[in-house]
Amino acid sequence: MAASREIRIDLPDGDAMSALFDQPAKPRSLLVLAHGAGAGMAHPFLEALSGELNSAGIATLRYQFPYMEKRRKIPDKPAVLTAAVRAAVDKAKELAPNLPLFAGGKSMGGRMTSTAASEHPLEGVRGLVFFGFPLHPPNRPGTKRADHLSRVTVPMLFLQGTRDAFADLQLLRPICAQLGSRATLEVVEGADHSFHVLKASGKSDAEVLRGLAGSAASWTSQFL
């Protein structure tokens, strides 16, 4: 993957956050990609995922939530996080106005993207992609975190591992079914919340990442 282009994104409160823009030679679309709660945009998982997405024809804009930018451990309040999502989407439209736009992210980043979209549609965004939607905390099964999904008006792709402690598939499957044609659930056999797989699976983590990117590329191609 070519060197990432470093970007600054202005926020409504006068603050700013950093971002990384990666674009293949012939991109077909652009995915605004938010990080999870405990790791920033340069985490090896997102770095590798962005590379695989680029190889699949998807440009990416990764960005740093304000709390991570300031090296704090506790995530910002939802209103701050959703404002960051909107600012990143606006910057993506500015960077690549001619590319079909999608948004989503890893774990909390995906959930904050869907939360923002449920409050007010993200202008220009054709669909949302979740790399491990965090339906509930580990060992505390519940569905409250999915309540807002019924208010999201664009298609959504859920990429979930069967060993994901943050999403009991017995709870997530009915939610996706209730969302009807707006939701597509793709299950990654043997993967945990970080999409790590055991050796017994016969696959490597790198192969799983490549599969995630391929699934995202195939799904987004429906809306180009």
Q: Is the pLDDT of residue 68 over 90?
A: yes
Give the CA dihedral 4, 75, 15, 45, nearest 10 degrees: 0
Tell me the C-alpha distance between 139 and 164, whole Å.
Answer: 11
| Phi, psi torsion values for 119, nearest 5 degrees | -80, -40
Cβ neighbors of 213 (< 8 A, separation 6 or more) are: 49, 52, 53, 55, 56, 58
* All structural domains of the chain: 5-223 (3.40.50.1820)
Q: Tell me the mean pLDDT in the region 197-205.
A: 89
Q: Tell me the mean pLDDT in the region 181-202.
A: 94
Q: What is the pLDDT of residue 202?
A: 87
Per-residue model confidence as pLDDT tens digits over 70-124: 999 999 999 999 999 999 999 999 999 999 999 999 999 999 999 999 999 999 9
By percentage, how much of the chain surpasses pLDDT 70? 99
Tell me the C-alpha distance between 76 and 81, whole Å.
Answer: 6
Q: Tell me the mean pLDDT in the region 13-39.
A: 96
Give the CA dihedral 108, 112, 115, 119, nearest 10 degrees: 170
| Phi, psi torsion values for 32, nearest 5 degrees | -80, 115
Q: What is the pLDDT of residue 19?
A: 98
Residues across the chain: 224
What tokens appear for 3 in the block? 């060197």
Q: Is the pLDDT of residue 58 over 90?
A: yes
Per-residue model confidence as pLDDT tens digits over 117-170: 999 999 999 999 999 999 999 999 999 999 999 999 999 999 999 999 999 999
Q: Tell me the mean pLDDT in the region 203-223.
A: 97
pLDDT band at 187 (very low <50, low <70, confident <90, very high): very high
Q: What is the pLDDT of residue 1?
A: 60
At residue 65's C-alpha, the angle toward residues 102 and 75, to 5°, is 120
What's the per-residue H, E or C state across 63-84?
ECCHHHHCCCCCCCCHHHHHHH
